[in-house]
Amino acid sequence: MDHETHLWLIRHAPVDGPRGVIHAPDAPADLGDAAAFAALQARLPIEAVAVCSPARRTTETAARLGLTATKDDAFREQDFGEWTGRRHSEIEQELGAEAYRAFWNSPGTNRPPGGESFADQIARARTGLTRLPAGDVVLVVHSGTIRAILAIALDLAPELALRFVIDPLSLTRIDRLSDAWRVVAVNGR
């Protein structure tokens, strides 16, 4: 039992910015939902190791939760390359509807120009997980990162893991056992 890692996966607060945009790492978080933060903070273990992606919205969310989190690049959001900072509608218009839909028909393995696939993100998250200690670990990360960790825990193909809904300020609980995984809860609010 002492080799178990109890992962408390928190998706960052909503981005304080326009909808329909692939936000860059410097996009700020909307920290205004005091009730949601208080409820989430009350559910977290005391004295857990805290880790976050280096994105501004995750570091701001971690700080608002009272966590002193170490930044780890392995847990950053999928890199959308040249699409970062752009609206989905602009990308669709530029590529054409058919090409845009073709990309999203296989989003687990397709790479945006200059970016990475979701499968790449899963591999990166797997590397990050190997560095986490036993015990309680709170990860303040992105929806894609949580889906990537679910893919690892459940041995899912990338496209299947993308089916999970992961809301802002939700809590997903997964335990890494000595020779298996246990999913406790997904997208808890």
The kind and range of the H/E element at 70 are strand 70-71
> What is the tens place of the pLDDT at every residue in 57-95?
999 999 999 999 999 999 999 999 999 999 999 999 999
pLDDT score, position 2: 64
Instruction: Enter the pTM of the model.
Output: 0.95
Backbone phi, psi, residue 25, to 5°: -60, -25
Question: Going by C-beta distance under 8 Å and a sequence separation of 6 or more, which residues neighbour residue 123?
Answer: none
pLDDT over 60 (residue 1): no
Sheet holding 70-71, edge to edge: 70-71, 49-52, 135-141, 5-11, 171-176, 181-188
CATH value of 5-79+116-188 in 3.40.50.1240, 3.30.70.270, 3.40.605.10, 3.90.1170.50: 3.40.50.1240
Q: How many Cα atoms within 13 Å fall on the side-chain side of residue 12? A: 31
Q: Is the CA virtual torsion 109, 112, 116, 121 positive or negative? A: negative
Contacts of residue 9, defined as CB under 8 A and 6 or more positions apart, other chains included, come to: 139, 141, 145, 146, 149, 171, 172, 173, 174
User: What is the maximum alpha-carbon separation in the chain?
Assistant: 53
Q: In this predicted model, what pLDDT tens digit does every residue of 107-166 receive, in sequence order?
A: 999 999 999 999 999 999 999 999 999 999 999 999 999 999 999 999 999 999 999 999
Beta bridge partners of 136: 6
Measured CA to CA, the distance from residue 97 to residue 100 in angstroms comes to 5
Cα torsion 56, 118, 7, 33: sign: positive
Report the first-to-last Cα separation within the chain, whole angstroms. Answer: 28
| Residues whose CB is less than 8 angstroms from the CB of residue 7 and which lie 6 or more positions away in sequence, other chains included | 132, 137, 139, 149, 172, 173, 174, 175, 176
